[in-house]
A and B are shown apart, each in its own frame.
Chain A
Amino acid sequence: MRARTERNCFREPLLWLAAAIWLSAGQLVLAQAPPSPGPGKDTGTLGLTAGEKIPPERIQEIYRRILKDWSDGQTDRAPDELIELESAVVVEGDVGTRKTLLKAEQAVIHQVGAADIEVLVPIAVLHHEAYRRLLDGGWRGRATVMGHTRTMARDLAILYHEQSGSEGATLVSSRLLTSLGGMLLQSAQQLPAAELFQEAVELDGRNAAALLGLAMIYEKNAQPESAVKYLRRALEVDASNPEGKLRLALNLKRLKQLDESRRLLEELTAASDPSWVTPLAYQELARLDSDQDKADEAEKVLRRALERFPDDARLTIQLAAVLDRKGAGREATALVEKILSSPSSREASSSRYLYNAVRPEAFAEARTFLAENSRSRLAVLAQALSAQVEVSRTGVGR
């Protein structure tokens, strides 16, 4: 709903940009940490101090300079500089400072965007990268800055889609929203992540990563019907996606659709090329048998699984428990002793944990796609910037 409302504002893109930031920032303040105590002494390569009173013209100048660095391929430095600038201008809890930053950045984007709409892609990706670094570095006390830069990335993506109207622009925008959603999901912000995935899917109904992301959120929130709906759509796009198949199988099991659930699990275990979900498929297939009091079947499944994954501690524990209940306590004991004495089975990473978490790989394809599309447009951004008034570098604070 929100996306549609906002898209109506695309006729006045900059006005819409401001409104969207106001809306999203409000949500973020509610969803994230309490504001930081105020100005600090942190300085970076720009020499700016947090909470420093920087005149709007100088913010524009520095922002333009950062865009220039980005377009020159300074991919390490430019996102850090953007974080430094935005952290310097925005005082947590002071909405006026955020508004100042927004207006200054809008002004620059308006100028360079007028030359070529394609510049929006690398600028959006720059904000996306800054947001990723903020997340990696810990967000405590920086909720407003994070909300700002994330919303900039999102709004620029949608703006680009609306202004360009091309199929390529749709793909880029949808991937950027997906990647942002993935980052939010990784930091356990499910609601805003769901909104971004939803928007990504509305732009591109064949965006499998966004469909899977939405399904994961519904699954985690005990809404298997919705999860199944999105998983089926994801599998229509990518029929061989093993993670999608497993999630569909488990959500169908929750809905008591056991035949289809079993069929999917059997397909996964029969696949000759194992993935990280294959041991899980064996585990869940055996669970399905155990739940139906088919201990012999569960044992067979687990023995087959251990032939393929002999060091898998989880499969070993599960087989021990099945055997124990069947009265084969001595073999169960031997299996347990194997786990207790085998460092390799102890240190194996837990795919059960990965299933409930967000694997960085889940959105890697979207990020690669974005990076490539941003790189190919850096020259356009450089050209647009050079067409602007020559800005003196004096006083930037280097």
Chain B
Amino acid sequence: MIRRAALLSGILTLLLAGAASAQVAVHILSPSSDQPIFGPLDVKVGVQAREPIDRVEVFVNGKLMGFSKTPPYRVRIDVGDDNVRREFRAVAYTRSGATGADTLVTNPVQIMDELDLKLRALFVTVTRDGERTLNLDQGDFQIFDNGAPQEIVTFGRDELPLTAVLLLDTSESMREKELEAVRQGAKAFLDGMKPADEAMVALFSDRLLRLTPFTSDKATLASTLSGVKSAGGTAVNDFLYLSLKALEMRQGQRVVVLFSDGSDVHSVLPASDVLWKARAGQALIYWIQLGGKHKSFTSAWRDYTANDREYDELEQAVRESGGRILPIERVGELELAFRNILQELRQQYALGYYPNNSKGDGKWHKIDVRVKGAGRVRTREGYADY
């Protein structure tokens, strides 16, 4: 189940209150207990203490998996592929030997009739009269998967940590004025991140120019934006695919925020590969589109028709992911666009369900989410059932 923010906040308050005696308050920030866990992941731990921390150790089912000595405390581990219950335990030690600990349990995927059920997470924006509606409960929603009603097993809003890739076009068409606006816009997004959120910043042209790892450290993320020089052409497809693939390995509410004029010239991957990845994955794609309407063009790689088709497919990938396109005419609008996206993500409802009609055959499943009463619903249009 998704942990409620209020509950977390309560636990943290209790832990902090207890810190007066134990001196060390520990909280596992990630992973969350709402999803089965497999493969490599980062365990992120929040620690508060009145004296310096020596180290934070992470155990899974009693086995020491690793430790971290410097904040933000993060330990990269690989829990393997077994579909089992896992108990995560984080223990913090102060230099004087005082300790504090937190435990979190993740449950295996329930297997019935040899069907591997995969939780589908939907992030849903509901608007009424143009305003986002924020007071809905689980009972206000209905999910239909290929027309079949589904049981909503997780529900929440603004509770899952955000995992974002800021994918920023810094190709040679970006002049210093545009680059400065990109810096300001991305920084606004990063400033709005919560401690449990994490992001990766990727500056690209026809190649990756700069890249951070996924981190919650805003200073690290922001530093990669400074002093960047534009260079090269544009390869949106390749690096959007790379971003979606990187997000597959992460937890939480996953999103790519792409800033580009979208005129892909140099990718080796066609947009159909991005569309496929968007359909098969669970990440949202937001695309801040500079320059308004797409202008048809030709290059040594593709003619007008092929380029138009690429552009259309990229737009389709964004729509189907449940994200949206934010066209801007001037770079001055960029910061507001980044802020709007972050606010929208915070105001989305997170609905989870195990599809009762999944066959894993790669076929397209159309998703329909309905709310009681009037209201406009936007979410992922569907998914490829792999």
Contacts and interface: CB of A to CB of B under 8 A. Distances in A.
Given A254-B303, A313-B207, A350 B266 contact: yes
Interface stretch (A149-157, A196-204, A218-226): A218-226
Contacts of B207: 313, 346-350, 353
B321 to A, nearest CB: 16
A309 interface: no
A178 B267 CA distance: 30
B232 A353 contact: yes
B273 interface: yes
Contacts of B304: 222
A314 interface: yes
A355 interface: yes
Given A350-B233, A350-B235, A355 B242 contact: no
Contacts of A283: 268
Interface in B290-310: 298-301, 303-304
A356 B248 contact: no
A197 to B, nearest CB: 16
Contacts of B300: 216, 219-220, 247, 355-356
B277 interface: yes
Given A216-B300, A327-B386, A356 B276 contact: no
A347 B210 CA distance: 9
A348 B235 CA distance: 14
Interface string A311-348: 00110011011001101011011001101100000111
B298 A333 contact: no
B298 A222 contact: yes
Interface string B229-243: 000110100100110
A303 interface: no
Contact of A220 (B211, B299, B386): B299
Given A222-B304, A352-B268, A355-B301, A332 B211 contact: no
Contacts of A317: 238, 241-242, 268-269
Given A314-B238, A348-B207, A352-B268, A222 B277 contact: no
Nearest to B305: A222
A287 interface: yes
Given A317-B238, A356-B266, A350 B246 contact: no
B277 A324 contact: yes
Interface in B184-231: 205-209, 211, 213
A226 to B, nearest CB: 13
Contacts of A222: 298, 303-304
Among A222, A247, A339, A357, the most chain B Cβ lie within 10 Å of the Cβ of A222
B178 to A, nearest CB: 19
B241 A352 contact: no
Contacts of B208: 313, 339, 346
B269 A321 contact: yes
Nearest to A348: B207
B212 to A, nearest CB: 10
Given A327-B386, A348-B207, A356-B299, A336 B268 contact: no
A272 B297 CA distance: 36
Contact of A353 (B233, B248, B269, B386): B233
Contact of A318 (B205, B246, B268, B386): B268
A339 B249 CA distance: 14
A255 B136 CA distance: 56
Interface in A272-329: 283, 287, 313-314, 317-318, 320-321, 324-325, 327, 329
A357 B105 CA distance: 55
A182 to B, nearest CB: 15
A356 B269 contact: no
A220 B245 contact: no
A130 B207 CA distance: 34
B265 interface: yes
B188 to A, nearest CB: 25
B242 A221 contact: no
Nearest to A280: B268
B211 A356 contact: no
B245 A314 contact: no
A321 to B, nearest CB: 5
A219 B300 CA distance: 6
Nearest to A247: B300
B245 A333 contact: yes
B246 A287 contact: no
A352 B269 contact: no
Nearest to A320: B245
A229 B208 CA distance: 36
Interface in A189-243: 216, 219-222
A278 to B, nearest CB: 14
Interface of A: 216, 219-222, 247, 254, 283, 287, 313-314, 317-318, 320-321, 324-325, 327, 329-330, 332-333, 336-337, 339-340, 346-350, 352-353, 355-357
- CB-CB nearest 10 A-B residue pairs: A222-B303, A353-B206, A350-B206, A352-B266, A346-B208, A356-B300, A336-B245, A222-B298, A353-B233, A350-B207
Given A220-B300, A350-B233, 7 more contacts: A317-B269, A321-B269, A321-B273, A329-B248, A340-B246, A352-B301, A356-B265
Interface of B: 39, 205-209, 211, 213, 232-233, 235, 238, 241-242, 245-246, 248-249, 265-269, 273, 276-277, 280, 298-301, 303-304, 386
10 contacts: A313-B207, A314-B268, A317-B269, A320-B241, A324-B245, A336-B246, A340-B213, A340-B246, A350-B207, A353-B206
